[in-house]
Chains A and B, each alone.
Chain A
Amino acid sequence: MTTPLRPPPKKNPERRTLSPTIPPQARSRAAMGLTAAAAEGRFAMQVCGECGAVLYPARDACNKCLSVELSWQDVDPRGELLAETTVRTSTNLYFRERAPWRAGTVRLDAGPIIICHIHGDVPPRARVVMTNRLDRAGQGVLLAMPETPAPDMEDDPQLRAMTSDPKLRRVLIVDGRSDNAPAIAKALHKAGATTIFVGEAEGWRPNPHRAALQAVPGVQVLPLDVTDSASIRELAGEIGGKVDILINNARFIRPGGVLARGDTAFAQQEFDVNVMGLMRLAQAFGPGMCARTADGVNSAVAWVNILSAYALVNMPEFGSFAASQAAALSLGQSLRGEFRDSGLRVMHVFVGPTEDDWHQPLPPPKVAPGSLANDLVKGLQAGLEDVYCGDVAKELVARFRAGPKVLEREMTMGGRS
């Protein structure tokens, strides 16, 4: 039985905050296929294209038939725990600080015997469901989970070390004027977030979402404008040490590509909010969050950017906006590198057209705020790096992976299609 997490006591101001450490991150290029699958929560193994063997650990040629036609495929995650041990100390700082730590071997129904981390609720010799997760170094690792869910199982220390669970954490939603802000706040509250700071730009304008936000327990609406460096600095000064998860939902969007607009005014606003805003937020909140990734139950865990799926490939009907999203995606990748040593995770939530004023003339399917909020919170609970929310985003990324050039040509048909 997992001991349920309890709200942490107020921090002792005389004690030094633990410095972040991360587990070993060296991997072969072949092994990083596991990481890529873990980033989106898939349990995948290398499968031989010649003989069909499921391979573990990752390698460059099949150990059964020597074929090099190996690909990462989703496989049956079920298996049986063969042996286990509890590591009580380690020369590795990360594990030393987190001991005891369960590890063992599992025979997958799909074939191979694998070495993995073991959830505390898995009894000896039990049937398990394997999960592939990112550890705090951002590398894919395997964690055996109990076959049937157990109470409070999300609070298991080994699992929580790998996820970005909002439970008992404090979250900042950057833009309280966004149509998705109330839904995200509600979903976070439901997931156990204790404090939900919500930024609101331009308090001199009415915010139609304010009442809905303030009705969510734990919500505090505070002034924040991502285009105003001083406002970001000020808020980071006030609450920067209490933000465990930052959700950047600020977005400026107008229809049109390059020629549809006679000027660069909207494009400037798109880049100012969607790209520079992210940069300003990261400069103000990033260092403080990176310093608090080992700060106990409510340690800093995740930085979330909500991006358009058209960050992957441009959609000329929203061409300028899509360009800003591609730039924001690229900045997010930079942040992944810059946050790496701290273990602070950058999660990107890719969405297709959303249910709002600017997408009103577009046909469905469109992502409703509630769906976005649910996928976002589930992504945090699972510790993902990439979430594709809604059918359009899922389809788009599949087509992108199948052939970026083909997709580009499909997206740029012009008016005669």
Chain B
Amino acid sequence: MSALAGLTQALASGAVRVVDLTHTLDPDFPVIVLPPEFGQCARFRIEEISAYDERGPAWKWHNISMGEHTGTHFDAPSHWISGRDVPNGAVDEIDPGVFVGPVVVIDCSAGAAQDDDYELTPKIIEAWEAEHGRIPAGSWVLLRTDWSKRSGAEYLNLRDDGAHSPGPTPEAIQLLVHDRDIRGFGTETVGTDAGQGGHYTPPYPAHFTLHGAGKYGLQCLRNLDQLPPTGAVLLAAPLKIKGGTGSPLRVMALIEN
């Protein structure tokens, strides 16, 4: 049997299951908030064109609008200044082979439950590797924090000094990018960086380091608690937007039951 036939059979039999890692595109889903004098990410909006009525008797459809970085979304290298000159750094230029690949999940949910500013450090990564083996090159690395189970004001967790949510330290993301040569890094929070990530050196180390090295980001993921630490396959194909720096997308994982 061919590999693909084996896969489709495994999907049909339930031996391989599809897990949806995507939040619903909802007008009230939080987006990143920047100081108001800066340009802002557009919220998801949906307007009815017709709904089987005088505007179109037999059909219903909507116009939708949003930013490239609204909802569960993909970050391309050209999103960040460090990645502006990366070849094929826009979503329409990326080799589609990138969109399907192995994924490992580092579970920091216990720590994030105790500390809103919980940091992913090299030490945690090395401890994870001691248990599950070295992170294979070309893997997606997802940071599980169970942050996706929060809603409303708890999600961005904004205070007077900004957002408070977990993320990687500069050293952790440098380890993943430079020493492990990962494909990309994904989180359950609104960005790949911690809420207070602007105060690291470099500021926003995940964005800076990932995209500078031509790696990708995924954020606002959910259901990471359904994924095994290793062995799953991630399907994450952004919309083919000309010159796009990112895109909302449907992220799915294949897992073996």
Interfacial residues, chain A to chain B (CB-CB below 8 A): 202-206, 223, 225, 227-231, 254, 263, 265-266, 269, 357
Contacts and interface: CB of A to CB of B under 8 A. Distances in A.
B153 A206 contact: yes
A204 B39 contact: no
**Chain B interface category by residue count:** 20 to 34
Interface in B29-51: 30, 33, 36-37, 39-40, 43, 45-48
B155 A231 contact: no
B131 interface: no
B27 A228 contact: yes
Contacts of B40: 265, 269
Contacts of B152: 203-204
A320 to B, nearest CB: 14
Instruction: Please classify the interface of chain A as helix (H, G, I), strand (E, B), loop, or mixed, using the class held by over half of its residues.
Output: loop
A230 B153 contact: no
A266 B39 CA distance: 7
A228 B33 contact: no
Given A206-B158, A228-B27, A269-B40, 19 more contacts: A202-B28, A202-B30, A203-B28, A203-B152, A204-B28, A204-B30, A204-B152, A204-B155, A204-B156, A205-B153, A205-B156, A205-B158, A206-B153, A228-B45, A229-B46, A231-B27, A263-B39, A265-B40, A357-B36
Nearest to B150: A204
Nearest to A227: B45
Contacts of B45: 227-229
Nearest to B48: A229
A357 B46 CA distance: 30
Contacts of A263: 39
Given A228-B27, A265-B39, A203 B48 contact: no
Nearest to B153: A204
A227 B42 CA distance: 11
Interface string B121-157: 0000000000000000000000000000001110110
25 contacts: A202-B28, A202-B30, A202-B43, A203-B152, A204-B152, A204-B153, A204-B156, A205-B30, A205-B156, A205-B158, A206-B153, A206-B158, A225-B27, A227-B43, A228-B27, A228-B43, A228-B45, A229-B45, A229-B46, A231-B27, A231-B28, A265-B39, A265-B40, A266-B39, A357-B36
